[in-house]
Copies of this chain bind each other. A is one copy, B any other.
Amino acid sequence: MRRTPFLLADGRELIHFDCDDAPPRETTDKRDLEPRGDAPDLRHDPLLDEWVSVAAHRLGRTFLPSPDDCPLCPSRPGYLTEIPSEDYEVVVFENRFPSFVGMPDGVGVNGIFAQHAAWGRCEVVCFTPDHEASFADLTPQRARLVIEAWADRTATLSATDGVEQVFVFENRGEAIGVTMRHPHGQIYAYPFVTPTTRVQLDSVERHLAETGRNLYDDIVAAEVVDGRRLVLESEHWVAFVPFAARWPVEMHLYPRRRVPDLAALDEAQRADLAGVYLELLRRGDAFFGIPLPYIAAWHQAPVRLRRELGALHLELFSVQRSADKLKFLAGSESAMGAFVNDREPEAIAARLREVADR
């Protein structure tokens, strides 16, 4: 794998990830870009003890551009995009409208209200120059290159001042709010441990105190023994629908040998993952016979706090509840955090096995 890093016209970093034999990449951004605006504000919610990024500049961000107007396509004569080169394999660059950006700064406290600049970093990961493709269309070689880029960025961002957790994810489909159709994912480097990870690690900590074992390990083992919710097993990976699935389509994917994050995956785990991940995405699209809108969320151990308890795993889920209906998060879910799932987890798993490539 070859890395080609350089700076865009407004100072943001861009990195090409290519196979070793790829042609050299253009490293000069010829656009005349205005500097990015102020860093967003990070505010502490005293009631939920969570941090909220207030990023007012994002209101004006690019919204569903056409292929003729797509900032994630390669540049071509007369049309300059975020990627100066006329071709690429995988590209990672800093988001022009970030929710988190910059280096640690002071914290302001006024009674019960605390706030500081929303430092951290938000990156865009372009999976392919083909505007009309999706991740599931990638070759295993290209998927493997994406995995290498994810691992590389996780390692680098984890070593960055002020970053507490690195989140690699893909939002796919307008039904979940995607504003650019070009196949891409994102990486958020947060200045805090996220609420979901914190709650998971609280459970892991309790379970460790009670049993001496890691809860993530015990969940994977229990799903393998039970078997009714298994989606697939490979040499190094296990995918299943969780016992208490919240979404009409949901799959969790764990390496059999627990690691903290993508950077810690060994060669054999990475090689196996490319095929497994593509297979899961294809089954997702086959579930209702439509391109499945999904959120693919790579949970990683925090950079410092309770890192030893964490476990890399993928939680992939969809709001699609039939070929023509969506699940909405209404009062019970959005306001109280209490989920109601219309579909039995065992039935979700059965469908995901039924649509397997044979």
Contact = CB atoms under 8 A, between A and B. Distances in A.
Interface of A: 40-41, 43-56, 58-59, 63, 99, 111-113, 167, 169-171, 176-178, 186, 188, 190, 192, 194-197, 199-200, 202-203, 207, 215-216, 218-219, 222, 226, 242-246, 295, 297, 299, 315, 317, 321-322, 325-332, 334-345, 347
Given A53-B339, A59-B343, A203 B47 contact: yes
A167 B334 CA distance: 12
Q: Which secondary structure dominates where chain A touches chain B?
A: mixed
Contacts of A216: 47
Nearest to A48: B199
Could you say how many copies of this chain the assembly holds?
Answer: 2
List the 9 shortest-distance A-B pairs measured between CB atoms, nearest first: A177-B328, A195-B337, A297-B335, A169-B331, A194-B336, A45-B244, A43-B244, A52-B244, A99-B340
Contact of A335 (B56, B199, B244, B295): B295
Contact of A344 (B56, B113, B169, B226): B56
A241 to B, nearest CB: 11
19 contacts: A40-B340, A45-B242, A46-B207, A47-B203, A47-B215, A50-B244, A52-B339, A58-B340, A99-B332, A112-B215, A113-B222, A170-B331, A177-B326, A188-B331, A192-B338, A197-B336, A295-B334, A297-B334, A317-B335
